[in-house]
Structure 1
Amino acid sequence: MTRSPATPLPPPKARRRLREAAALTQTQLATRVNVTRATIRAWESGRTAPRGRRREAYARLLKTLAEEDAARRTRSAPPPEPAPTPTPTPTPEPTTVLEPVSGPEKGSEPEPGPGSGSEPGSGSEPGSGSEPAPEHPALTPAQAFDALYEFSAPALVRQAYLLTGRRELARESVERAFQTAWERWPEVARDRDPVGWVRATAYEFALSPWQRFRPRHRQPEPPPADPGDRTLLNALLRLGPQHRRTLVLYDGVGLDLPETAAETEASTPAAANRLLHARETVAGRLPALADSRVLHQRLTELASAERLWAAKPTGVRKGGERRARFRTRAAIAFTVALIGATALTVRTAPTHYEPAVSPGVAVRGVPPRVAPGSLSEAERELRQKLRDRLQDGPERLEPRLE
């Protein structure tokens, strides 16, 4: 008996976008699917996935919302204008130091088809009226990973520094995130936002509460040289981890509020409340940063003022591969040791109960007779008196007149 494949669903971010495009709350959507609001929240954050009939009902509802959204976009779209002839220009470098300019996903370019390569006989003949297709060599997974790393790693290190205030921890968090991405590269390469995938992983590692127990992170690092930067960094570190992360994502990176809420696994109202509280706290210590544009500029200046560096992509890939090999070998060694211990226990364990026999003690000769100690003078006199009376007998009692 074979199991039918599960109904496909859009990514968690797309589910949230479709619900908000239809102006539906999580409670309203939960009522239509006949589940709780917490279940819808878990489905939209990606923590859990629906199954069975609920998955089919959820998929049908999302399909309906997608069709309605496409219809609205078609009605509101302006008439197409004739596109001008494109002029090849060099791609500009990203201007912000907190987040690279969003563009086509690195590592997810489609591979050329069978007729688009440079095989003999695949090109068009002269005079046939068809232009030859441009050659786009497909990137290997390593090349795509290196391109993604070089594009986004410096900005992610600066963001992690704003979250932690530690230069070494920021660099290590980004490297660990990219190593995890390299281990799951097929999944990351197909993701709609690979930079966001790596960013979320780096933030989770940087803000992990276990970092405080590491000896290398217990020693304080030298603060920024500029007094204003030092005050701003202290104000950021006084915020809670979730408030700090929301502030960096919205005012530093420039994400929209729904995207910030989805990345922090919170609802949109909760993310808005965290952002307002974080802004009030920072403005309380630095009143000049009450304006969001000034705050964004100061965060950019703070992140770019520090001398932060990122390792080479080749070293990050090799480090991830070494960690994966070490974990694999450790798991194999532990499994072998567990199997050996189990086999030894089974081999040496008794098959039936044998009562314990107490050890015997050898007895030689007769124990010595225990005698009392020496008698005192009074005891000897009493003994002699008793002996004399036993020989003569007791005295005879006679009546007397008085």
Structure 2
Amino acid sequence: MPASPLDTRQPRKSRSPQLSRPLVAGIVTALVGFTSSFAVVLAGLKAVGASQEQAASGLLALTLTFGVGVLWLSWRSRLPVTLAWSTPGAALLASAGLPDGGWPAAVGAFLIAGVLIVLTGLVPPLGRLMEMIPTALAQAMLAGVLLSLCLAPFKALGTAPLLVAPVILSWLIMMKFAPRWSVPAALIVALGVIGIYIAANGVAIPGNRLLPELHWTTPSFTFGAASGIALPLFVVTMASQNIPGTAVLKSFGYAVPWRPSMLVTGAGTVLGAPFGGHAINLAALSAALAAGDEAGEDRSRRWIAAFTSGLAYLVLAAFSAALVTVVAAAPPGLLEAVAGLALLGTMASAIASALAVAEERIGASVTFLVAASGLSFGGIGAAFWALAAGILVRWVLKPRESLK
């Protein structure tokens, strides 16, 4: 007996919400991922010598490379694999300062980090070597480099309270009622403050800087940038993004395609480096938005959320130059305040992980303090020396049998 018209319409009704939930989840993933940390990326790129145009190019290159990477990985694997720029890596750059050789040397370091990520996918022993770095020390190094940025909102509150207080207050209120949107809300308020500041002071916004544009930088390679930026950037990206990103997807019952992910993110980092992109990786915090229940009850269709986020990132890339131009007109300290608020949760998690094991606390504390000190010796930044000091202290204090 043929199905009635009512019977043929019913499946279409049931499929609509199944499709709309992954689409909405993907758009939310992109909005949260982009707005919650782009200020950190800009602060990091500028700290290692990028001009306003080069920082805008870096933001554009990062968004394009990981947007395309998400499309490829989610389509090929049919898994909700999402990518992001390395937010901890950008924070590391902000604490590293200008390397010997300037911006071209920093670009060369980005390129080296990308090659190391590719090698992690191609050479399994390199991945196992990465796992040998104690988690406590890697997290302590991250917490140390984040400290100066996380202090920025409160330092700025003392120098410009009328500008910064609304940003912090909006963040706090949203942390209470909608934590996921706390940093985007702070960013919206900050943009409002910047708009008022521009209008009140008659600051001119160049129209030719509102359109996205890639700027090539020929990389140069120096020992100081390789050891002080490339190696710590690689370690932080792997320990604080790729490994946690794998764990997040595993918690939802998905096995990350490790080798393809490392090859895509490493190759994307290499391609984006000459245009100012520091590193891309598996998403960690935003990964749950595309892999969790918000992306629909049908787990086999949640890859659509990841794919949608990739498309949304490509759309957001078109606004990268305009955002950089607007925030460049911001009063001093305001952008850093937003970046610091975005990193508070990451720093708290890093500290908790670093100090979780009693036997590791001294080595982790030394690592944290050296990283936070800003020590620079021999042209090599604090992140490298922090990790070296922590490993040395751990080796000295640990009983020999536990080191075997």
TM range (shorter): under 0.3
Name which one, 1 or 2, has greater alpha-carbon Rg.
1
Decide which structure has greater helix share.
Answer: 2
Provide the TM-score with structure 1 as the length reference. Answer: 0.24
